[in-house]
Amino acid sequence: MYRPQIRLLDCTIRDGGLINRHLFDDEFVRAVYIALSKAGVDYMEFGYRSSKELYPVKDFGAWKYCDDEKISQIIDGIESDMKISVMVDAHRVREQTFVPKDKSPVHMIRVATYVRDVDKATDLINRVHDLGYQTTANIMAVSTESEPDLVEALGQLAQSPVDVVYIVDSYGALYCEQIEYLVKLYQRYCPGKELGIHCHNNQQLAFSNTIEGIIHGVNYLDASLYGIGRGAGNCCMELLLGFLKNPKFNITPVLQVIADHLIPLRQKIEWGYHIPDMITGILNRHPDFAIKRRASADRDKYAEFYEEMLDLLA
């Protein structure tokens, strides 16, 4: 429960933004930043650094782009030791530019990649590392990858300057035994690298799988307030704060911001475990299938949905 190397990263705004096109207002983002700072959380991820060519500004909120100026507006006047991260999709890099770290409020660039795009990921990691940023490689949808391909990608990352390599259960399909196996695989092929874990809650295992990662030496832990995130959502930050026994953490500000901001938001936007999420989780399918089902008139026809998903796998 206590290891001084453990770092908590909150992805409320980034992962939560996937369910509202990143249209969080400044008051909400600032409240989250203040609460996480008071709670002793190590990193807050503000969102994506996305291409404005691929994602027109008229269709998305500010946290789809995470301009340095916008982040600076939010944190202005707030005393905080918490570091700031943004995420970039390796396969969607277009015109994004990065200034040197000492001229930006951002500390960490997290590069999300599929195994097939690891070349693009390492190119981006090299670029932002040279500018002074801490970096991560988040290997998405790892439950769908073959082990030989994954091992090859890990070998490339081991030769890069990346600081942290993440196990990402994008489909919420993994069980604790698989988490243990993957952690040991990453350790074998990325020696000397810190490992991180990002779990989705399709089978209500995000918290327990995160703990499994901790047991086997993972030090970077992703979570979000009240589990907010696409579909079934993520590991809950409040659960991790209650579990970890580092005296620097303070759960009270997190409980307060959940009561003041996340509970009202939950009345307007749906996230969290539902049966369709469970079905895509156990079948190792993309969460978009469940999300589309929940938005349809057949949202509660669970048996029918399960049979349809089985037919897709046939």
Asked if 226 and 100 sit in the same domain, the reply is: yes
* Residue 301 sits in the same domain as residue 236: no
Q: Is residue 192 part of a domain?
A: yes
Model confidence pTM above 0.85: yes
Say if residue 219 is in the same domain as residue 302: no
Counting the structural domains of the chain, the total is 2
Residues in the chain, how many? 314
Q: Are residues 75 and 56 in the same domain?
A: yes
In this prediction, residue 295 carries a pLDDT of 95
In a shared domain, residues 244 and 279 = no
Can you give the residue range of the structural domain that contains 197?
A: 7-266
Q: Is residue 64 part of a domain?
A: yes
Same domain for 293 and 239: no
Q: Do 300 and 175 sit in the same domain of this protein?
A: no
Distance in angstroms between the alpha carbons of the first and the last residue of the chain: 43
- Name all contacts of 280-284 with Cβ < 8 Å and 24+ positions apart: 280/171, 280/172, 280/202, 280/231, 280/309, 281/171, 281/172, 281/173, 281/200, 281/202, 281/203, 281/232, 282/173, 282/202, 282/203, 283/173, 283/309, 283/310, 283/313, 284/143, 284/144, 284/171, 284/173
- CATH number of the domain to which 174 belongs: 3.20.20.70
The confidence score (pLDDT) of residue 224 equals 98
Q: Which residue has the tokens 């959940």?
A: 258
Query: Do 32 and 135 have their domain in common?
Result: yes
Residues 148 and 287 in one domain: no
In a domain, 253, yes or no: yes
What local confidence, expressed as pLDDT, does residue 96 receive? 78
Query: Nearest Cα to 36, choosing from 83, 69, 68, 89?
Result: 83
Q: Is position 2 within any domain?
A: no
Do 76 and 217 lie in one domain? The reply is yes
Residues of the chain below pLDDT 70: none
Residue range 141-171, pLDDT digits in tens: 999 999 999 999 999 999 999 999 999 999 9
- The per-residue pLDDT for 304 is 98
| 36 and 175 share one domain | yes
